């Protein structure tokens, strides 16, 4: 059957689209085009970061050094006309170095709060696992509630507000394991792998032609902070059927009752799956969620939230593999 104007065809059914996501889809394609000027491959990472951007979800990016974890976050921030700050986490970093501190103003004769680098629209935290628990705890409130409390006063973050954090899974000297409560605040954990030989060749070609020019100079803003906030509001208008909410609930519940999973996913995980699936639908121009939208992002939402049993960890089973098997065992709504 031919697809008609104003109608989306999905899984052999026709549905009338009630919300126009044309502007949102076009903005996503423009951002992709800007990033493609510098980034070769890494399509899954870029797609997940765009979903995080549209849902206002924080993202943990994990990969070995040199695979463009930090670069992609910086380029994504530059494609949006919004405030950007970068914080390098180190073992001696204090909470006040992140959220700010109260200082005495000699001229006014009073104490004033000096905002830290976390007061920004897009915050990049490099090597997040290098700071101790005391500093990590400073992020708990701001990541969940988009606010911080200092000396009994609450300060709201500017909107949009997102945290992109990177970590190296190989080097463990001088690092700290992130608390489960903090990991649960991240929408996604994105695993960045090495490029292929062909992609490595393209990377060399791009750098050769750049002639020493900074890579960030090739990126132009295509979206304002205000537009992004409006797109984020649109995402929550996407429809999800009760049967699909039940499908998500059954997936999350299955992680808590599996013999090979020591720690299952929280209710927050289910909310994140639903919101991310809505973003996938909106990017595709649909105002309704399908089971395939849910399957597409479930692995990235759950992989950092579950803890496998010691036996499975010793066998070398990865959380992503366990989640894939688990999702396959759950009956899909018809």
Q: Quickly list DSSP for 220-282.
A: ---EEHHHHHHHHHHHTTSB--HHHHHHHHHHHHHHHS-TTEEE---HHHHHHHHHHHHHHHH
| Predicted pLDDT at 207 | 80
Q: Is 2 a residue whose pLDDT tops 80?
A: no
**220 burial via Cβ count (<10 Å: 0-12, 13-18, 19+):** exposed
Instruction: Name beta bridge partners: 190.
Output: 61
Q: Is 235 a residue whose pLDDT tops 80?
A: yes
- Domains identified in the chain, total number: 2
Q: Is 3 a residue whose pLDDT tops 50?
A: no
More confident residue, 253 or 74: 253
Report the candidate in 252, 272, 253, 121 with the shortest Cα–Cα distance to residue 186: 272
Pair type for strands 80-81 and 58-62:
unpaired
Residue 44 located in a structural domain: yes
pLDDT tens sequence across 123-173: 999 999 898 888 888 888 899 899 998 888 899 998 999 999 998 877 777
Residues 44 and 142 in one domain: yes
The token pair that represents 152 in the structure block: 């009994």
- What number is the average pLDDT over the span 60-89? 87
Residue 3 located in a structural domain: no
User: Containing domain of residue 57, as a range?
Assistant: 40-200
| Predicted pLDDT at 15 | 53
pLDDT band at residue 282 using 50, 70 and 90 as cut-offs? very high
Residues 192 and 263 in one domain: no
Residue 314 located in a structural domain: yes
Q: Is 5 a residue whose pLDDT tops 70?
A: no
Residues 192 and 267 in one domain: no
Average pLDDT value for the chain: 86
Q: Among 156, 179, 200, where does a domain finish? A: 200
The CATH number covering residue 49 comes to: 3.40.50.300
Residues 269 and 175 in one domain: no
Residues 252 and 181 in one domain: no
Residues 191 and 243 in one domain: no
Residues 183 and 118 in one domain: yes
| Predicted pLDDT at 110 | 80
- What number is the average pLDDT over the span 4-12? 40
147 SS3 class: strand
Residue 20 located in a structural domain: no
Q: Is 64 a residue whose pLDDT tops 80?
A: yes
Residues 273 and 160 in one domain: no
Residues 157 and 261 in one domain: no
Q: Is 79 a residue whose pLDDT tops 60?
A: yes
- 84-88, 187-191, 200-204: segment of lowest average pLDDT: 200-204
Residues 44 and 134 in one domain: yes
The CATH number covering residue 289 comes to: 1.10.8.80
pLDDT band at residue 63 using 50, 70 and 90 as cut-offs? confident
- What number is the average pLDDT over the span 225-247? 94
pLDDT tens sequence across 299-331: 999 999 998 988 888 888 888 889 999 999 999
Residues 165 and 70 in one domain: yes
| Predicted pLDDT at 88 | 92
| Predicted pLDDT at 184 | 92
Residues 138 and 66 in one domain: yes
- What number is the average pLDDT over the span 216-236? 88
């Amino acid at each position: 059957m031919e697809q008609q104007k104003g109608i989306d065809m999905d899984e052999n059914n026709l549905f009338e689209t009630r919300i126009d996501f044309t502007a949102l889809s076009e903005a996503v394609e423009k951002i992709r085009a800007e990033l493609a000027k510098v980034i070769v491959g890494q399509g899954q990472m870029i797609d997940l970061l765009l979903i995080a951007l549209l849902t206002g979800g924080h993202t943990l990016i994990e990969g070995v050094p040199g695979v463009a974890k930090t670069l992609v976050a910086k380029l994504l921030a530059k494609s949006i006309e919004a405030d950007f700050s970068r914080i390098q986490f180190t073992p001696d970093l204090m909470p006040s170095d992140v959220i700010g501190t109260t200082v005495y103003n000699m001229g006014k004769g009073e104490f004033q709060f000096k905002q830290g680098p976390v007061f920004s629209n897009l915050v990049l935290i490099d090597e997040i696992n290098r700071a101790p628990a005391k500093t990590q705890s400073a992020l708990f409130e701001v990541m969940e509630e988009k606010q911080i409390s200092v000396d009994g006063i609450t300060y709201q973050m500017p909107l949009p507000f997102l945290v992109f954090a990177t970590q190296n899974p190989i080097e463990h000297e001088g690092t700290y394991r992130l608390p489960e409560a903090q990991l649960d605040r991240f929408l996604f954990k994105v695993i960045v792998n090495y490029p292929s030989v062909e992609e490595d060749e393209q990377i060399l070609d791009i750098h050769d032609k750049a002639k020493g020019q900074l890579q960030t100079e090739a990126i132009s803003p295509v979206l304002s902070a205000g537009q992004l906030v409006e797109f984020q509001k649109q995402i929550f208008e996407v429809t999800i059927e009760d049967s699909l909410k039940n499908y998500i609930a059954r997936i999350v519940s299955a992680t808590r009752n599996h013999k090979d999973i020591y720690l299952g996913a929280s209710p927050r995980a289910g909310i994140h799956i639903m919101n991310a699936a809505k973003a996938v639908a909106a990017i595709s121009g649909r105002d309704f969620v399908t089971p395939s939208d849910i399957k597409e992002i479930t692995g990235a939402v759950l992989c950092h939230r579950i803890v496998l049993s010691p036996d499975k960890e010793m066998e070398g089973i990865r959380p992503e593999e366990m989640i894939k098997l688990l999702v396959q065992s759950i009956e899909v709504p018809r």
